[in-house]
Each structure stands twice: as structure tokens, then as C-alpha cells.
Amino acid sequence: MQLMSSQAFVEHSTFQDNAATAMNHGITMITSKTEIYNSTVTFSEGFSDRINLSKVDCGFFSLILGSTLVLGSETRIERLKALN
Amino acid sequence: MFKDNIGGDVSAIYLTESKLLLSASRDVPNFVNNVTPYGTTIASLNSELGLKRMHFRGNSGFKGGVFLLDSSSVLKDEDSVYEANEANQGGVIYVINESEFEILRGSFVNNRAQEGAVVYAMYNEIERALKFSQCSF
């Protein structure tokens, strides 16, 4: 997801094995706000070994220019991998 | 079913200040391989879309592989599948200018874009304008 001057809300959801070839596997925000509750972001075991990470800077969340991220209860971020 | 349609700006449905209601069985894809080089599959300007149990597969566009929501448009969707859709910006949804969506129990599989595999959003500053609930990505 790429958000510019926008507001997003995610609940009771799962992000599994979402892989980008550049920048960021997940949500990039520019002057935006995202709230996430009761959700899971994960790579399966061994998934990151099979993808090209050479141009991926960020595992899942990239916040730019006054963005806000709210991670609420029961939200798990696990096993993600990026270059930096 | 909308299948193998080719558009310039819009390959299937274009709405301006209108309302679209669609429902089907998600087991069978009902928007399939619609293509437009410049736009999207369903474009909405200041309109309302209500969807249930739809299945969008293999649609491609430039701004939104499936939807372009513009100018205070509102999308409400339940139990739909979005599979292998593709665009330059927003593999499924390109949403702009105080538009909103609420997607309940959506399934997003193998959608692609240069920017925003599922969503590319600009200038939607209403609180919780872009809402996903019980979705899988």
C-alpha cells in the first residue's frame, strides 16, 4: 500500500508473504495515518530466502513526512526481512 | 460476467454521480482479464459502489487494476476475491480526492503494481477513510 495524505484502518486481518522488489514490502506512508488492530504481518518460514531483497529497504512500515502509525492490541509483526 | 474487454480509459464500467450494486458467487471469477492501458476496470467519480461476493481476476490498468475511486466516491465491499490484478499504481485500488472504502472479509492474492500492490491512495483525509476488516493479503 502507498498512502499520501490519507488515513487507513486495518483490523482482524493477515498479511502473509507479501514481497516487493523495491522500497518496502508493506505500507509506505507520506503525511498519512494508519491504525492496525488485531492483525498479523508475517513471512512464512524460509520465504525470505527465496526472494530478491537487494533493493528493498524496509520490512513493512515506512513513515515519511509527519506520518502516524498506530499499532493496537494483538498485532504481531514477525519474520520480515529487508536489506537495511 | 465482464471478460476480455479492452478500454482506453475504462474497460468495464464508468460512473459519474451514480450508484452501482453488484453481487455474485465468489467461487467463479466474474470480472476477468479486462484491460486498459490508461485507466482502470471500474471508474467512479462522486459515486457509490456496493459489492458482495465478487471475484476479480487478471484485470489490468494504469491507475487501479480494478477500481479508480475519485472525487468523494464510496466503495463498500463484502466477501470478494481480488486475484492477480495489475496496474502501474494500485494493483487493485487507486483512490483519490476524499474518497472512501470499507472492505470486509476481502481476499487479496498475487496482485501487483509498481507502487502499491493493493492500494495507491492520495488525499483521502477523512478519518479511517480506507478501511479493511477481516481481510487477508
**Three-class secondary structure assignment of B44-70:** EECCEEEEECCEEECCEEEECCCEEEE
Residue A17: band (very low, low, confident or very high) from pLDDT cuts 50, 70, 90: confident
Interface of B with A in 83-102 (CB under 8 A): 89-90, 95
Domain count, chain B: 1
Percentage of chain B exceeding pLDDT 90: 82
Average pLDDT rounded to a whole number, residues B26-53: 92
Task: Output the pLDDT for position B66.
Answer: 97
Across the interface, do A3 and B119 touch by the CB < 8 Å criterion? yes
B135 touches chain A (CB under 8 A): yes
B104 touches chain A (CB under 8 A): no
Across the interface, do B134 and A18 touch by the CB < 8 Å criterion? no
Q: What is the pLDDT of residues B67-104, one digit of tens each?
A: 999 999 999 999 999 999 999 999 999 999 999 999 99
Question: What residues of A are in contact with residue B118 (Cβ under 8 Å)?
Answer: 1
Task: Output the pLDDT for position A19.
Answer: 74
Task: Output the pLDDT for position B8.
Answer: 73
- Hey, CA dihedral for B111, A7, B78, B105, is it positive or negative? positive
Question: What residues of A are in contact with residue B126 (Cβ under 8 Å)?
Answer: 7
Across the interface, do B132 and A20 touch by the CB < 8 Å criterion? no
Phi-psi region of A74 (alpha: psi -120 to 50; beta: other; left: phi over 0): left
Task: Output the pLDDT for position A83.
Answer: 66
Task: Output the pLDDT for position A84.
Answer: 54
Residue A76: band (very low, low, confident or very high) from pLDDT cuts 50, 70, 90: confident
Task: Output the pLDDT for position B53.
Answer: 96
Task: Output the pLDDT for position B4.
Answer: 81
A11 touches chain B (CB under 8 A): yes
**What is residue B25's three-state secondary structure?**
coil
Task: Output the pLDDT for position B59.
Answer: 96
Task: Output the pLDDT for position B110.
Answer: 92
Mean of pLDDT over chain B? 93
Residue boundaries of the structural domains of chain A = 2-78
Percentage of chain A exceeding pLDDT 90: 45
A17 touches chain B (CB under 8 A): no
Task: Output the pLDDT for position B135.
Answer: 97
A70 touches chain B (CB under 8 A): no
Exposed/middle/buried for residue B135 (C-beta within 10 Å: 0-12, 13-18, 19+): buried
Residue A66 pLDDT > 90: yes
Nearest residue in chain B measured CA to CA from A30: B122
Range of the domain at B25: 2-133
